[in-house]
């Protein structure tokens, strides 16, 4: 009987986080075949997987097992209308007794060989269970090193800045990173008297509890931030070792019949001619913003593929933890679909994003700046229009526009709306002209670094191998 080295994961009920940590697990088990077994414990908020996420879980390798916990009740949290990060944090916290029980059940089996627990940053309470079980614990940080630096530095910022961050007159310095406007810090820090801010500070402090922080970025892209985190103990206090193992992106998508429509459409378009538009798994726009975006696409005269369109809502995260089913196409401007029939394709369905981005017809990506989407765009050398909506997405937008310079950023009017003229100008700017050529050159260069990092002798694979060998050394030998 084989006693494979066992790694346990604890993720959160947000599909982007689940995909990231499970793709990390797939990379590990594929790199060391027949050595590792991974169990992923998943808190849930409903009794079933969404249609868009089910194909991903169905294609996981046999040595990755998922355990879905019973749904937690957090309806009272939604009624309080706290920000998304706090909804997730509180719902995960309520799942912790079940996480502990599940871990104890796994480790009690005679054949178990568990050596490490890796938990999402929002599931930091689970580090305590690793200590109880006498195994190593790691935080999996599915965001940028810039955001990690900001989190680790948050206590210092809290001491030195007395006003609301959004009202700070100067850009705020983050060690190893570009300075950012206070309005570009995550949603959870925008109201310092709010429960969300207190949870953010607490979660950031808990990053120090782990034996290490595994982060989905790569050295060649964020070397200054990673260096600052590892060397600036005076700024941060005691910080665990940080292991950049990215870019980890979704490597395989099962394309259902209704999802192949967009790829077939792309097959009939000229190279680099299409703007791909997606606001992620939960992002929503107001009715006014839907109108302006649609009209801007139409006026630009550029081809476009707009997927995962949702009904309007004034709250950007309205559908993130919801399964409400309404036909969003009814909310598009009157006659828009007819007028743009030869110009674009609009879909309510979730598209196979990785396959779309690698398609040679795609010339640019209008994205909400979720970290997974940014990494996927970089891995496929696609320029971006940054249109952040919530959470840390504005920080990501600042990184890709002001630091990496691989994107143009949408500018809002005084009412927070990106007007149709701005939309059309952005599209033109990223699709043609000298500026677009410079952006494309930079993203293609970064693409080469990203792919090199994931090669056998690349920076990220060396880091992952170092971790894997350490875990293998802690496990029992495989029995014949």
pLDDT tens sequence across 387-425: 999 999 999 999 999 999 999 999 999 999 999 999 999
What is the pLDDT at residue 386? 98
- Mean pLDDT for 449-465 is 97
pLDDT for 50: 59
CB atoms within 10 A of CB 232: 16
Per the residue annotation, which of 37, 58, 76, 120 is the catalytic one?
Answer: 120
How high is the pLDDT of residue 198? 94
Note the pLDDT of residue 4: 86
The domain spans of the chain are 5-246+455-474, 260-451
Residue-level pLDDT at 325: 60
How is domain 5-246+455-474 classified at the architecture level of CATH?
A: 3-Layer(aba) Sandwich (3.40)
380 is catalytic: no
Q: Report yes or no: 303 and 275 within 8 Å, Cβ to Cβ.
A: yes
Q: Is the pLDDT of residue 294 over 50?
A: yes
pLDDT tens per residue, range 299-336: 999 999 999 999 998 776 555 555 556 677 899 999 99
CATH dotted code for 260-451 = 3.40.50.2000
Q: What is the pLDDT of residue 68?
A: 94
**Of 17, 37, 124, 380, catalytic:** 17
What whole-number distance in Å separates Cα of residue 133 and Cα of residue 135?
Answer: 6
Residue-level pLDDT at 78: 60
Rounded average pLDDT over 189-218: 94
- How confident is the model over 110-154, as pLDDT tens digits? 577 999 999 999 999 999 999 999 999 999 999 999 999 999 999
Q: 322-341 in b/e burial notation, b at 16+ Cβ within 10 A?
A: eeeeeebeebbbeebeeebe
**330 flagged as catalytic:** no
Residue 49 has pLDDT above 70, yes or no: no
Residue 188: half-sphere exposure toward Cβ, Cα within 13 Å: 24
Closest CA to 453 of 222, 133, 239: 222
Residue 480: its pLDDT value, please?
40
Kindly report, residue by residue over 269-291, the tens digit of the pLDDT.
999 999 999 999 778 999 999 99
- Residue pLDDT, tens place only, 222-254: 999 999 998 866 566 678 999 999 999 998 654
Domains 5-246+455-474 and 260-451 share a fold: yes
Cβ atoms of 162 and 149 within 8 Å: the answer is no
Whole-number Cα distances in Å, 56 to 114, 149, 187, 276, 477: 25, 31, 29, 21, 31
pLDDT digits (tens, 9 = 90+) for 361-390: 999 999 999 999 999 999 999 999 999 999
Is 60 exceeded by the pLDDT of residue 260? yes
What pTM, to 2 d.p., does this model score?
Answer: 0.94
| Percentage of the chain modeled with pLDDT above 70 | 90
Tell me what the pLDDT averaged over the chain comes to: 91
What pLDDT is recorded for position 444? 98
| Cα–Cα dist 277/307, whole Å | 6
Q: Using H for helix, E for strand and C for coil, what is the string for the chain?
A: CCCCEEEEEECCCCHHHHHHHHHHHHHHHHHCCCCEEEEEEEEECCCCCCCCCHHHHHCCCCCEEEEEEEECCCHHHHHHCCCHHHHHHHHHHHHHHHHHHHHHHHHCCCCCCEEEEEEEHHHHHHHHHHHHHCCEEEEEECCCHHHHHHHHCHHHHHHHCCCCHHHCCCCECCCCCCCECHHHCCHHHCCCCCHHHHHHHHHHHHHHHCCEEEECCCCCCCHHHHHHHHHCHHHHCCCCEEEECCCCCCCCCCCCHHHCHHHHHHHCCCCCCEEEEECCCCCCCCHHHHHHHHHHHHHHCCEEEECCCCCCCCCCCCCCCCCCCCCHHHHCCCCHHHHCCCCEEECCCCCCHHHHHHCCCEEEEEECCCHHHHHHHHHCCCEEEECCCCCCHHHHHHHHHHHCCCEEECCCCCCCCCCHHHHHHHHHHHHCCHHHHHHHHHHHHHHHHHHHHCCCCCHHHHHHHHHHHHHHHHCCCCCC
């Amino acid at each position: 009987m084989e006693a494979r080295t066992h790694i346990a994961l604890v993720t959160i009920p947000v599909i982007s986080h689940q995909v990231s940590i499970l793709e990390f697990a797939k990379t590990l088990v594929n790199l060391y075949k027949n050595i590792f077994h991974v169990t992923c414990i998943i808190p849930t908020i409903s009794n079933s997987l969404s249609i868009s996420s089910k194909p991903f879980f169905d294609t996981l390798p046999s040595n990755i097992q998922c355990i879905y916990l019973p749904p937690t009740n957090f309806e009272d949290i939604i009624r309080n209308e706290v920000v998304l990060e706090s909804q997730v944090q509180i719902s995960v916290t309520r799942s912790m007794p079940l996480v502990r029980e599940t871990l104890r059940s796994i480790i009690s089996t005679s054949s178990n060989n568990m050596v490490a627990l890796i938990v999402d940053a929002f599931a930091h309470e689970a580090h305590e269970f690793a200590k109880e079980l006498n195994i190593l614990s790691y935080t999996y940080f599915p965001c940028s090193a810039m955001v990690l630096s900001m989190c680790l530095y948050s206590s210092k910022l809290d001491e030195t800045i007395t006003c609301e961050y959004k009202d700070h007159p100067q850009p705020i310095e983050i060690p190893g990173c570009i300075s950012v406007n206070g309005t570009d810090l995550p949603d959870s820090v925008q109201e310092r008297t709010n429960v969300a801010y207190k949870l953010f500070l607490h979660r950031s402090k808990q990053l120090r509890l782990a034996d290490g922080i595994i982060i989905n970025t790569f050295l060649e892209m964020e070397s200054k931030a990673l260096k600052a985190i590892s060397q600036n103990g005076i700024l941060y206090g005691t910080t665990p070792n940080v292991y950049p193992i990215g870019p980890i992106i979704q490597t395989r998508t099962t394309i259902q019949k209704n999802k192949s429509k967009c790829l077939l459409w792309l097959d009939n378009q000229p190279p680099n001619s299409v703007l791909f538009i997606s606001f992620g798994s939960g992002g929503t726009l107001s009715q006014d913003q839907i109108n302006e975006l649609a009209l801007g696409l139409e006026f630009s005269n550029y081809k476009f593929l707009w997927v995962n369109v949702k009904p309007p809502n004034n709250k950007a995260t309205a559908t993130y933890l919801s399964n409400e089913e309404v036909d969003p196409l009814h909310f598009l401007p009157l006659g828009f679909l007819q007028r743009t029939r030869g110009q674009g394709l609009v879909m309510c369905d979730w598209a196979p994003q990785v396959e779309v981005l690698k398609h040679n017809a795609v010339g640019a990506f209008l994205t909400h700046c979720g970290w997974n989407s940014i990494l996927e765009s970089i891995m496929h050398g696609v320029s971006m229009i940054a249109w952040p909506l919530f959470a840390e997405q504005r920080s990501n937008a600042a990184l890709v526009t002001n630091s990496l310079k691989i994107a143009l950023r949408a500018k809002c009017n005084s009412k927070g709306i990106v007007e149709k003229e701005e939309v059309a100008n952005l599209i033109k700017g990223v699709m043609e002209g000298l500026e677009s050529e410079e952006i494309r050159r930079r993203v293609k260069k970064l693409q080469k670094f990203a792919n090199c990092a994931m090669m056998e002798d690349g920076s990220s694979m060396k880091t992952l191998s170092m971790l894997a060998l350490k875990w293998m050394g802690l496990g029992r030998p495989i029995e014949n």
